[in-house]
A and B are shown apart, each in its own frame.
Chain A
Amino acid sequence: MSDHKTMTLTLIVWRQKNANDPGKFETYSAKNITEHHSFLEMLDCVNEDLILAGKEPIVFDHDCREGICGMCSQVVNGAPHGGQDRTTVCQLHMRKFKDGDTIYIEPWRARAFPIIKDLIVDRTALDTIIQAGGYTSCHTGGVPDGNAILIPKPIAEEATDAAECIGCGACVAGCPNGAAMLFTGAKVSQLALLPQGKAEAVARVKNMTKAMMECGFGNCTNHYECQAACPKGINVKFIARMNREFLKAQFA
């Protein structure tokens, strides 16, 4: 490892004490960074230096660091998760950057996601949407036989594509309107596609889109920035499917 060339980067990071603090950018230097560092490991290094210097470390969300949990949430140079295709910021590696680069790091910015501290935002609003109908409440009884409910493979795959959503909120962060249509669309579609979810499809799409609005998310203007930001590549076809479900629900 010691043979590797190291990089020195300038970080311009959003620092905010709490939701009421106006917040501001602070500039830091990230030294001795190799191409093998993940973006979060690079921040860990900066934080170690800050702690040793007796300063407050940069606070950010993270958990699995494997790109599957949806906890990490940073806007890097204006792009949620850093803009690498289908990559969470924890799986973004420093080989994507050059020595001497200046990197802007900001939290998710949306009215529905108030900032808790620095780069951590409160994503409770996504839970509120799920609580409004992102589940099935019908009694399912005992475990059925594997082949008791027949689901054609293309349908099963499409539902799984929608279920890939890890609920990180990058779609909201990427949307100029701070809309949660891709998130809600994925959750509505995932259940609407499957027989177990169809039973409550009408109430679900109405309740979840209502909760979405009440949480302060904006409306969709079909820019499709959400799809570009999504680390799981959730397609905007699920927004179209939700729109279809919503229209259908009006006549049900």
Chain B
Amino acid sequence: MQFFKSSIGRKILMAITGQCMVLFAVIHLLGNSSIFGWLPGGINAYAHHLHSLPAPIIIGFRLGLLLFVVVHICYGIQLTIENRGGRPQQYAVKSVQKATFASENMIWTGVLLMAFILYHLAHFTFQIINPETAALKNMVPGLDNHVVPNVLGMVLSAFQNIGVTLIYAGAMLILFLHLSHGIQSFFQTMGWSSDKTQPFITKAGTLAALALFLGYAAVPLTILVHILK
């Protein structure tokens, strides 16, 4: 279909899949925040509840996310290669008026995020990086006399290591860079911005990216400095 080959069509697909992943990041952060104790039973209860959902919902959700990631990456790489070819010879003097470090390096922040996501999945989802603290192997008593995986223990032991904490906090800084351009870009590509709304959208997008960064980085950093025990 022409849409999937067109310049704007592929960008719209990148924008939508990107924004869906931002929504996932928001939900993920809300789940993470249960570690601070607002949910009875904390993050262990949250994780147990999540995994008690019907299998089709979990599998569907994961397949959906995988689809977003694959589409976003494939078009991202394809469009970047095309764009690099759009100006084969660079100017002798580089003069930047409006582009930012974030906007110019979307492909690299994207590659780093993908590497982090693979590490994160191996670490906390498949739990193969530190098997001795894996939540699924260390069951603890939860609410209502259920025995639940010890997610809290796994997370606490992981972030007492300064190296691991720095990897996570650094990755979230990369996420901030990626989204500080990505969120406002979504509205422009979808055609939902005008000269009146664009300055607001740009600021709000950066603030939203900052909020995600602070929210995500709070967990490893508070554990590292022993505020969260």
Q: What is the distance, in angstroms, from A167's C-beta to the closest C-beta of chain B?
A: 18
Residues of A within 8 A of B192 (CB): 240, 244
**Are B92 and A240 in contact (CB-based, < 8 A)?**
no
Proximity string of chain B (179-202) to chain A, C-beta cutoff 8 Å, 1 when within and 0 when not: 001001101111111110010000
Residues of A within 8 A of B85 (CB): 111, 216, 218
Instruction: Say yes or no: is B52 at the interface (Cβ < 8 Å to chain A).
Output: no
Separation of A218 and B92 alpha carbons in the complex (Å): 20
Kindly identify, within residues 50 to 109 of chain A, every residue whose CB is under 8 Å from any CB belonging to chain B. Answer: 75, 77-79, 83, 104, 106, 109
Residues of B within 8 A of A75 (CB): 91
Kindly identify, within residues 3 to 61 of chain B, every residue whose CB is under 8 Å from any CB belonging to chain A. Answer: 3, 6-12
Q: How many residues of B contact A (CB 8 A)?
A: 45
Separation of A176 and B95 alpha carbons in the complex (Å): 11
Name A's interface SS.
mixed
**Are B83 and A176 in contact (CB-based, < 8 A)?**
yes
Residues of B within 8 A of A242 (CB): 8, 191
Instruction: Say yes or no: is B90 at the interface (Cβ < 8 Å to chain A).
Output: yes
**Are A239 and B98 in contact (CB-based, < 8 A)?**
no
Kindly identify, within residues 77 to 106 of chain B, every residue whose CB is under 8 Å from any CB belonging to chain A. Answer: 79, 82-100, 103-104, 106
| Interface residues on chain A, size class | 35 or more
Residues of A within 8 A of B3 (CB): 250
Contact of B86 among A174, A217, A228, A235 (CB under 8 A): A217
Q: What is the distance, in angstroms, from B61's C-beta to the closest C-beta of chain A?
A: 27
Q: What is the distance, in angstroms, from B39's C-beta to the closest C-beta of chain A?
A: 38
Instruction: Say yes or no: is A175 at the interface (Cβ < 8 Å to chain B).
Output: yes
Q: What is the distance, in angstroms, from A204's C-beta to the closest C-beta of chain B?
A: 13
Instruction: Say yes or no: is B145 at the interface (Cβ < 8 Å to chain A).
Output: no
Can you show 7 pairs from A to B with CB atoms below 8 A apart?
Answer: A106-B91, A111-B86, A176-B104, A221-B103, A225-B99, A235-B195, A243-B189
Question: Given A221-B103, A244-B191, 5 more contacts at CB 8 Å?
Answer: A177-B86, A181-B7, A209-B6, A220-B7, A222-B189
Across the A-B interface, the 4 shortest Cβ-Cβ residue pairs: A218-B86, A244-B191, A78-B95, A178-B86
A binding-site residues for B, Cβ under 8 Å:
12, 25, 75, 77-79, 83, 104, 106, 109-112, 174-179, 181, 206, 209-210, 212-213, 216-225, 227-229, 235-237, 239-247, 250
